[in-house]
């Protein structure tokens, strides 16, 4: 079965990759944003632990941050019917203000846990809208033949941030304050705002006036497309269960390293950074792998290894072992991510691009709030180690869904 490429040409010819300065600015902005996000991932759990001392509170924060996943179908309609550039700008500005405010309040010793809950929910909401709009904007910035390359480089940039930011962030947090980490993250959103402002993102789509009937029909059209295209459907099913498992792991990762293994913020940062070193390579070889192997074999192998690495993470407590297993997991994620994104982009028509991504994220991430909350309960009443072990088992089993025959066709 063959699939038509979803990208259409813009009014102005998109330049060759080497001369595409817009996409270079876009990827540079992502580097800074990813840098801030990695510091945020260390700072926020430490802030929650300092305020409450409870793994369950971290589970609640993570669940609230992921709760806006439930509105993903509406973010797809929003992306496909409104100016994507304005959406990106508004989301960056809102996150800059909210995260920065949380950081300032913590530094002033005025932050309370309910404010963290509200902030996490707001940041999660705008992140969902931003990610959908960004996904739909990428095919308008590059030629279709460069999509896999750009997605791989973008993932490599993300992993470069994973390599650099956590170690530096851990040092900054240990010297100053976790609130400083949130302020750094907020400034990355401000820089992203300025870069997006300089980009020419024009969807060139006909926009009808939105009403309740059109919104419902647009959402229905997105679901119908995703459910009818088997490669997208089965990668979504695999990601649904894999994401449930990895969310159990990621929600309690910093808490586990801090309260169970008794590492300090610098050591935690180094573990994240070491994982980033290996993952940069994983992201950059994805384009090579795609030329020599099917998406089916790449996704299964990477997904299986990623799940096993989480299980192995719970077996020993030495710094080197934890760093090695985390590196193995991030390599796997760095390979899976761009492959799935590219499959969606090359199959989806441009007028459905936002809805396909939003619908897919809704299907694959809908259990994340539940998983995050469950992680908090298991860690609170049993142990963080048991939480991570369950997550690894689920992620490993989920990888077998990638073996579905439909993935041979892409």
pLDDT tens-digit map of 161-207? 655 656 666 777 777 788 988 998 899 899 889 888 887 775 544 45
Residue 8 maps to a domain? no
Return d(Cα 405, Cα 235) in angstroms, integer: 11
| Rounded Cα distance, 63 and 78, in Å | 24
Whether 377 maps to a domain, the answer reads yes
What is the percentage of the chain residues whose pLDDT exceeds 90?
35
Q: Where are the alpha helices (DSSP H) in 108-176?
A: 113-137, 147-175
Whole-structure pTM value: 0.73
Question: Does residue 28 lie within any of the structural domains?
Answer: yes
Q: Six-digit token pair at 304?
A: 């299986």
Structural domain contains residue 136: yes
d(CA 147, CA 338): 9
- Ranking 8-17, 208-217, 375-384, 394-403 by mean pLDDT, the lowest is 8-17
CA distance 406 to 342: 16
The domain in which residue 248 lies consists of: 17-409
- In three-state secondary structure terms, 108 is coil
* Number of structural domains the chain divides into: 1
Structural domain includes residue 6: no
Task: Give dist(CA 157, CA 91) in Å, integer.
Answer: 21
Domain assignment of residue 142, yes or no: yes
Q: Give the CA-trace dihedral at 204, 206, 210, 216, to 10 degrees.
A: -100
Residue 9 domain-assigned (yes or no):
no
Q: Which residue has the higher pLDDT, 250 or 137?
A: 250
pLDDT at 121 over 90: yes
User: Chain centroid to CA 136: how far?
Assistant: 15
Question: DSSP labels for 293-320?
Answer: S-HHHHHHHHHHHHHHHHHHHTT---HH
Average confidence score pLDDT of the chain: 83
Between CA 5 and CA 147 the distance in angstroms is: 11
CA-wise closest residue to 150 among 165, 164, 137:
137
Cα separation of 260 and 344, whole Å? 39
CATH code of residue 82: 1.20.1250.20
Structure-model confidence comparison of residues 364 and 28, the more confident one: 364
> Taking residues 150-154, what's their average pLDDT?
71
In the predicted structure, residue 139 carries a pLDDT above the cut 70: yes
Cα separation, 386 vs 348, in Å, equals: 40
Q: Is residue 7 part of a domain?
A: no
């Amino acid at each position: 079965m063959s699939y038509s490429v979803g990208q259409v040409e813009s009014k102005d010819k998109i330049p060759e990759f080497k001369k595409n300065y817009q996409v270079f600015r876009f990827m540079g902005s992502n580097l800074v944003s990813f840098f801030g996000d990695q510091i945020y991932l260390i700072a926020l759990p430490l802030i929650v632990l300092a305020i409450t001392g409870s793994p369950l509170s971290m589970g609640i924060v993570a669940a609230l941050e992921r709760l806006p996943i439930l509105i993903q179908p509406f973010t797809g309609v929003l992306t496909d019917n409104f100016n994507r550039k304005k959406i990106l700008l508004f989301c960056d500005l809102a996150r800059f203000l909210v995260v920065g405010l949380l950081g300032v309040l913590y530094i002033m010793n005025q932050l309370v846990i309910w404010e963290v809950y509200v902030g996490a929910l707001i940041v999660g909401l705008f992140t969902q809208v931003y990610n959908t709009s960004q996904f739909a904007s990428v095919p308008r910035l590059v030629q279709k033949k460069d999509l896999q390359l750009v997605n791989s480089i973008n993932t490599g940039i993300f992993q470069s941030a994973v390599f650099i930011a956590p170690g530096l962030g851990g040092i900054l947090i240990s010297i100053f304050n976790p609130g400083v980490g949130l302020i750094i993250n907020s400034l990355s959103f401000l820089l992203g705002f300025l870069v997006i402002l300089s980009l020419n993102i024009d969807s060139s789509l006909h926009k009808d006036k939105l009403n309740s009937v059109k919104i419902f029909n647009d959402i229905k059209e997105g679901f119908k497309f995703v459910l009818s295209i088997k490669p997208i459907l089965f990668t979504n099913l695999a990601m649904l269960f894999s994401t449930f498992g990895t969310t159990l792991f990621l929600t309690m990762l910093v808490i586990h390293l801090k309260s169970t293994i008794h590492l300090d913020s610098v050591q935690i940062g180094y573990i994240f950074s070491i994982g980033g070193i290996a993952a940069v390579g994983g992201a950059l070889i994805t384009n090579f792998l795609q030329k020599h192997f099917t998406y089916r074999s790449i996704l299964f192998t990477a997904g299986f290894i990623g799940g096993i690495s989480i299980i192995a993470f719970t077996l020993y407590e030495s710094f080197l072992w934890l760093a090695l297993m985390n590196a193995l997991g991030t390599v796997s994620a760095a390979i899976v991510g761009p492959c799935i994104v590219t499959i969606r982009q090359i199959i989806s028509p441009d007028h459905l691009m936002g809805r396909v991504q939003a619908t897919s994220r809704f299907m694959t991430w809908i259990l994340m709030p539940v998983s995050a909350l469950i992680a908090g309960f298991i860690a609170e009443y049993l142990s963080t180690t048991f939480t991570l072990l369950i997550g690894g088992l689920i992620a490993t089993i989920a990888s077998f869904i990638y073996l579905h025959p439909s993935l041979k066709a892409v």
